Structure 1
Amino acid sequence: MRGRYVETVVTKKRASSRDFINAYDREESSGHLAIGTAKDAGNPHWRHSLVHVLVATLSSFLFGYHLGVVNETLETISFDLGFSGNTMAEGLVVSTCLGGAFVGSIFSGWIADGVGRRRAFQLCALPMIIGASMSATTKDLWGMLLGRFFVGTGMGIGPPVAALYVTEVSPAYVRGTYGSLTQISTCLGLLGSFVIGIPAKETMGWWRICFWVSAIPAAMLALFMEFCAESPHWLLKRGRSTEAEAQFEKLLGGSHVKSAIIELSKSDWGDEVDKVKLSEFLYGRYFKVVFIGSALFALQQLSGINAVFYFSSAVFKSAGVPSDSANICVGVSNLLGSIIAMVMMDKLGRKVLLTGSFFGMAVSMGLQATAATSFVSSFAALYLSVGGMLLFVLMFSLGAGPVPSLLLSEILPSQIRAKALAVCMAVHWVILSWLSLMFLTKDLFFRAIETAKSTPMQLIFFYSLQFFLMMTRQ
């Protein structure tokens, strides 16, 4: 009976879908409760879907780990592989990975829609294992660059698929919390890379261990995803209604299958799911929503957060602070903010966290700009600079970090969600790779610092503008 009901819902046209649902509702006794608030007794238990989400967040852990793995190890890598002092080569070690991520993100939506979310995760893990192995065993720069490119392709596929999967398997009343778990996992990966990289400067060849370690969670992701649920949304789009029903039962419990199908049927499922073309995102009917999503990711990266993750060692070293201890503090600040965001996401809402995050980032940059002036002593400047940077990371992780991918996966129309999110993430990687390549040239980086010291109000204006834009959005 359920299978025939699902097939009927999926094949209904948009115009008649509401009538069909209303008729079904009238036939049911008024026992179906909306999946909306945690207090409703009819909500599915969150434990059913939690384990599946936790496995998916392994891709976010790998994302964070590979972002930070070169922070402490880049100096020894360049020495061992014979390009020490070549700032362009050092920049390529990072930016090649990000270039691979751009390639992976471009195709991630088509992969996720073509083979399903579970298989997409496994395809994400495969190049990460290969790339990490190549990086750990290479004897020259070219082997490192090729390995980093393979890792990057996996990094590009992972985040969009994780955002999709978490949105599609989570009960609505904990979706924000589960979405924040991906950011927490990214923070743990980043923090883990900082911790494991501490001995790199004293132990010869330790950087190779750092790359080998990353193959373990990648293998776990590929293995454990085999036992996880497939997205019921994807199965319904493929006309596999009986399987979708079984996955809903696994994720929500048997008593919530019908209500979940009713909720899902309100989305725009139609025959045009697989007919969406890339041109429609660039200048067609979906341009506006894709532009908003791309702009959100662009502002996220133009905030400069990854310059902090890449250059915290250099910045703290110039301030006379031990880089290993300081990097741990950066990781802890990032993790703390993400935990707070997880707790508050479904209570305060996405917009409040996003606006508060940008405002806090503006304040933190104001502190750092003040430290660069002649009005404070060198002792106070040290605390303002370091404290401002840690506050900047904390405020970023409260909203600007976790909200964009979660928000887009919720507001994008279902028939274009995977592909549109892939395009938006591609913009994210283009900007990040460009910034990384430029800032990894040390001379240019320190000239940028001097410029920032001479024009501190420009920094404050930039973040204040972002805050203003978010506050005035309807």
Structure 2
Amino acid sequence: MYKRMPSRDHSAVVDVEESSEQRGCGNYKSFMVAFFPACLVVSTCLGGALIGSLFSGWIADGFGRRRAFQLCALPMIIGASTSATTKSLAGMLIGRFLVGTGMGLGPPVAALYVTEVSPASVRGTYGSFIQIATCLGLMAALLIGIPVKEIAGWWRICFWISTIPAGFLAFAMMFCAESPHWLYKQGRSADAEAEFERLLGGSPVKYAMVELSKLDRGDEADTVKLSELLYGRHFRVVYIGATLFALQQLSGINAVFYFSSSVFKSAGVPSDIANVLIGVANLSGSIIAMLLMDKLGRKVLLLWSFFGMTISMVLQVAAANTYVSGSGSLYLWLSVGGMLMFVLTFALGAGPVPGLLLPEIFPSRIRAKAMAFCMSVHWVINFFVGLLFLRLLEQLGPQLLYSIFASVCMTAVIFVKKNVMETKGKSLQEIEIALLPQG
């Protein structure tokens, strides 16, 4: 829900600045007292996400994928409970930091786990469930938060409700299989075979174990250093992964999610309807991506996704021009249509594919740490886009800023075309051998 806060904050800035001329600076000062702590709370959450993401690789490798899931639920439960009961800013900051830590730890572990336990033929479909679950979670959070304006203290109930899915995750993972890839990497071949039997059953087990044996699992005592990810033979795949996440975040998607309410409001669309439209577009694109991921492939979806986002941002530029010229009805169609098209095309590929593709292309030995590094890039850029978007919008204007976003999306098309390999239907071992030839 923090993703909606900057949008409301921005609207509040405008309202207060307009009214302060009439009622004096008292309201302005009181607004600042509330505004900056609110920004601090959001930033603290993102800071926690960065910390959680940075350590996710070491936790996933040290405790296993299943235990890492349970560990990510722990700070979420404690943090949400702290936020629900606190009566001070310090308590809220601690609670949001802990929640952010769990948020940062969860996505890379989820991507690792789904990639390593899924059969190659349906790995893309199963990986798409992560994006769909995210969409449903955001929509549920918006619905749960509706009574906030009418019921005093409802925000505390919202925090308590958020502990339920985290607790369910920790409980449900007790009954899930551990990643055979992680078990084999730890030298526990018998356990890996048993988990393959549990996941696949029958004859595929022997084939899966033969595939695992083709790769050098390395010395279990030999830890992966950050320097291995930044240069040497692993540099290329880490560079591809980090760049994909950077392009994803710089494409303008965070600007859309953060400030969509303001854009729709300027077009005369109520914020509640705007949130519903954005949610439906996001969910629809995610479902289509799930159906096509193992048919068309990751690379094709990425290419068409970024290209569609480019066209959408061009529509936003056109909308900004029509707004200046005073064509209200045309602005409504171009701005709202372009924004919904952007969210839809983002959900088709740029949203779900990087989290699925990267665990596929990273070698087993560095997979968890490389995911942690690349997801950290995601959170850092996420923070700065949210921090700087309004300032850039004021300094550059919507035409130039949206043109920059369009250029980033087109750059992403070129980058994907030149650097990303197709992984559809290939085993993780086949992908690793193709990218890092052994011998």
TM-score range relative to shorter protein = 0.7 to 0.9
- Answering whether residue 328 of structure 2 is matched by residue 378 of structure 1, we say yes
Question: For 1:2-59, what per-residue CA distance to the aligned partner results, in whole angstroms no more than 9, with x for missing partners?
Answer: xxxxxxxxxxxxxxxxxxxxxxxxxxxxxxxxxxxxxxxxxxxxxxxxxxxxxxxxxx
- Answering whether residue 149 of structure 2 is matched by residue 201 of structure 1, we say yes
Counterparts of residues 11-22 of structure 1 (less than 5 Å):
none
- Answering whether residue 397 of structure 2 is matched by residue 447 of structure 1, we say no
Query: For the Cα contact (< 8 Å) 2:11–2:262, is it kept in 1?
Result: no
- Answering whether residue 67 of structure 2 is matched by residue 111 of structure 1, we say no
Distance in 2 of aligned mates of 1:219 and 1:447: 43
Aligned-pair CA distance for 1:237:
1.3
Query: For the Cα contact (< 8 Å) 2:186–2:220, is it kept in 1?
Result: no
Cα separation, partners in 2 of 1:225 and 1:457, compared to 1, 3 Å? closer
For the residue of structure 2 that corresponds to 1:95, the secondary structure is helix
What residue in structure 2 maps to residue 420 of structure 1? Answer: 370
Aligned-pair CA distance for 1:293:
0.9
- Answering whether residue 342 of structure 2 is matched by residue 396 of structure 1, we say no
Distance in 2 of aligned mates of 1:278 and 1:458: 32
Cα separation, partners in 2 of 1:314 and 1:201, compared to 1, 3 Å? farther
Give the AA of the match of 2:379: W
Aligned-pair CA distance for 1:255:
3.2
Cα separation, partners in 2 of 1:83 and 1:225, compared to 1, 3 Å? farther
Query: For the Cα contact (< 8 Å) 1:91–1:437, is it kept in 2?
Result: no
The TM-score normalised by the length of structure 2 is 0.85
What residue in structure 2 maps to residue 46 of structure 1? Answer: none
Distance in 1 of aligned mates of 2:400 and 2:128: 37
For the residue of structure 1 that corresponds to 2:218, the secondary structure is coil
What residue in structure 2 maps to residue 262 of structure 1? Answer: 210
What residue in structure 1 maps to residue 112 of structure 2? Answer: 164
Question: For 1:43-78, what per-residue CA distance to the aligned partner results, in whole angstroms no more than 9, with x for missing partners?
Answer: xxxxxxxxxxxxxxxxxxxxxxx5547578879999
What residue in structure 1 maps to residue 306 of structure 2? Answer: 358
Give the AA of the match of 1:371: A
- Answering whether residue 243 of structure 2 is matched by residue 303 of structure 1, we say no
Distance in 1 of aligned mates of 2:279 and 2:194: 40
Cα separation, partners in 2 of 1:366 and 1:163, compared to 1, 3 Å? same
What residue in structure 1 maps to residue 409 of structure 2? Answer: 463
1:409 maps to which of 359, 363, 371: 359
Cα separation, partners in 2 of 1:69 and 1:122, compared to 1, 3 Å? farther
Counterparts of residues 17-416 of structure 1 (less than 5 Å):
68=3, 70=5, 84-85=31-32, 86-271=34-219, 274-374=222-322, 377-416=327-366
The Cα RMSD (Å) is 2.6
Aligned-pair CA distance for 1:202:
2.7
Aligned-pair CA distance for 1:105:
0.8
Question: For 1:391-410, what per-residue CA distance to the aligned partner results, in whole angstroms no more than 9, with x for missing partners?
Answer: 10100000001111111100
Distance in 1 of aligned mates of 2:83 and 2:7: 15
For the residue of structure 1 that corresponds to 2:316, the secondary structure is helix
For the residue of structure 2 that corresponds to 1:276, the secondary structure is coil
Question: For 1:307-336, what per-residue CA distance to the aligned partner results, in whole angstroms no more than 9, with x for missing partners?
Answer: 222222233223321101110111111111
Cα separation, partners in 2 of 1:67 and 1:291, compared to 1, 3 Å? farther
Give the AA of the match of 2:368: A
Distance in 2 of aligned mates of 1:302 and 1:246: 43
Query: For the Cα contact (< 8 Å) 1:71–1:309, is it kept in 2?
Result: no
Cα separation, partners in 2 of 1:455 and 1:292, compared to 1, 3 Å? closer
What residue in structure 2 maps to residue 7 of structure 1? Answer: none
Structure 1 gaps of 5+ residues are: 1-65
Aligned-pair CA distance for 1:273:
7.2
Cα separation, partners in 2 of 1:173 and 1:214, compared to 1, 3 Å? same
Cα separation, partners in 2 of 1:418 and 1:273, compared to 1, 3 Å? farther
Distance in 1 of aligned mates of 2:127 and 2:329: 40
What residue in structure 1 maps to residue 379 of structure 2? Answer: 429
Distance in 2 of aligned mates of 1:273 and 1:185: 36
What residue in structure 1 maps to residue 430 of structure 2? Answer: none
Aligned-pair CA distance for 1:438:
3.1
Aligned-pair CA distance for 1:148:
0.9
Distance in 1 of aligned mates of 2:383 and 2:3: 14
Q: Which moved more, 1:350-359 or 1:377-386?
A: 377-386
Query: For the Cα contact (< 8 Å) 1:101–1:152, is it kept in 2?
Result: yes
Distance in 2 of aligned mates of 1:303 and 1:114: 34
Question: For 1:119-139, what per-residue CA distance to the aligned partner results, in whole angstroms no more than 9, with x for missing partners?
Answer: 100100000001111122222
Structure 2 gaps of 5+ residues are: 14-28, 421-439
Distance in 2 of aligned mates of 1:408 and 1:83: 46
Aligned-pair CA distance for 1:95:
2.0
Give the AA of the match of 1:278: L
Cα separation, partners in 2 of 1:199 and 1:243, compared to 1, 3 Å? same
Give the AA of the match of 1:447: E
The TM-score normalised by the length of structure 1 is 0.79
Query: For the Cα contact (< 8 Å) 1:333–1:393, is it kept in 2?
Result: yes
Aligned-pair CA distance for 1:197:
1.9
What residue in structure 2 maps to residue 12 of structure 1? Answer: none
Query: For the Cα contact (< 8 Å) 2:61–2:368, is it kept in 1?
Result: yes
Q: Which moved more, 1:325-334 or 1:301-310?
A: 301-310
Distance in 1 of aligned mates of 2:288 and 2:418: 25
For the residue of structure 2 that corresponds to 1:146, the secondary structure is helix
Query: For the Cα contact (< 8 Å) 1:341–1:397, is it kept in 2?
Result: yes
Distance in 2 of aligned mates of 1:225 and 1:326: 36
Query: For the Cα contact (< 8 Å) 1:229–1:250, is it kept in 2?
Result: yes
For the residue of structure 2 that corresponds to 1:346, the secondary structure is coil
Query: For the Cα contact (< 8 Å) 2:132–2:287, is it kept in 1?
Result: yes
Aligned-pair CA distance for 1:468:
2.7
Aligned-pair CA distance for 1:452:
2.0
